[in-house]
Amino acid sequence: MAEVKVKAKPELIQIDGSQGEGGGQMLRTSLALSIFLMKPFEMINIRANRPNPGIQAQHLKAIEASSVISNAIVEGAIIKSNWVRFFPVEIKHGNFKFDIGTAGSTSLVLQTIYLPLSFATGTSNLTITGGTHVSWSPTFDYIKNCWIYFMKRIGLKIDVELKRAGFYPHGGGEIKAVINPVREINPLNLIERGELLGIQVYSAHTNLTDEVAKRQAKAAEKILKNYGKVEVIIDELDSYSKNTTIAITGIFENSVCCYTNLGEKGKRAEFVAEEACEKFLKFLSSDSAVDEYMADQILLPLSLAPEVSEFTTPRLTNHLKTNIDVIKKFVDVEFEIAEFKNSYKIKVKPTKVG
C-alpha cells in the first residue's frame, strides 16, 4: 500500500495584541505581511487595552478585505472577538468594493491591503466606503498630500480619489484607489528635508458655508505667513455630515509633511486652524525630514526593500515602536534608532525576506 503524505499545517506566527501600543495597527500590519509573505498568523488579546476591546467594524472590514484579496481561511473574525487566525492562499488583483458600514476609517482599510496588492500580477481598482475624515486615523487629505508622495517615492504605483467625504457619525464617504503592480520597493534615504519651498492651506467644509472655510483658512494664513509662501485652497465637499477639515502641507526641497485637524460642534473654525498650525510649526522647529505619523507608516514597506533605508523623524511614537515589534515577527530585519540633532534617525536594515 502506497504511503500517504499528509501536508503539515503551517506554523502560525503568534502575536499578542495587548503588547506595546496595543491598537488596531498591530492587526493591519500583521494582515499585510501575512499576505505578502504567505505566512499565517494568530493574534490574541486584540485591542485588549482599548475602552471598546476586540474587533470593531473597521478592523473586521480590514480582515474581510484582506481575506478577499488573498482567498484566506479566517477564524475568529466577528465583532468584539479578541482573537483571529488568518491563513492566506494567494494574492489576487481585480476590482474590489469594501463598505465599512460605519464611519470607520477608509484610509486604514487601504493601508492594510495596498502592499500585497502592489505585488499582485495585475492592476486593482478599489472602492472603499466609510469615514474619510475621522479622528485617530489619516484623513484623505493626509493620504493624498503626504502618504501617496512617500509611496511613489519608494516606487509604489498608487493613486487615490475622493468621491464623497465621510465624517463621524454618519460615515458614507467614498474613496477610490488604483494600485498598479511593481516588482520591488525602493529604499528611502532622507536625512535632510532641505529648505521650505511653500505651505499649502487646504480648508474645506461640508454642508455649512464657504465663509466658515474662509475663516478657518484666514486664521491659518495669519499664523503661517511669516514662515514661507502660503497657498490657500477653499473647498466644499459632498458629504452626509456638517463639518470642516483643514490640512497644512509643507513642501520642502527633499520632502513633504502634512498636519490636519477636524471641526467639532461648538469649536470655532479659527481654533481648528490654530491646532493644525501648532502641530505643523512643531515639526518645522525640528530638523526632521519625515513627520512622526509617516515614520511609522513607512516602516512596513521599507522592511521589505532590498537595501538599507534611513530617515529622520521628530519623535518616536508608540505606534512606531509597536510596529517595529510586529514587523520583526514576520521579517528578518533590523532597526537602528539614534538621536540626531533634535530628531531621531531611523535605519531599516532588511537582511532576508521570506
- Which amino acids are annotated catalytic? 319
Closest CA to 212 of 164, 270, 266: 270
- How far is the C-alpha of 204 from the C-alpha of 241, rounded, in Å? 13
For residue 325, what is the DSSP state? H
- The neighbour count for residue 195, using CB atoms within 10 Å, is 9
Closest CA to 158 of 228, 211, 110: 110
**Secondary structure element (H or E) that encloses residue 201, with its range:** strand 196-206
Grid coordinates given for 285: 522647529
What is the pairing mode between strands 41-44 and 13-16?
A: parallel
CA 179 distance to own-chain centroid:
15
Contact 30, 44 (CB under 8 A): no
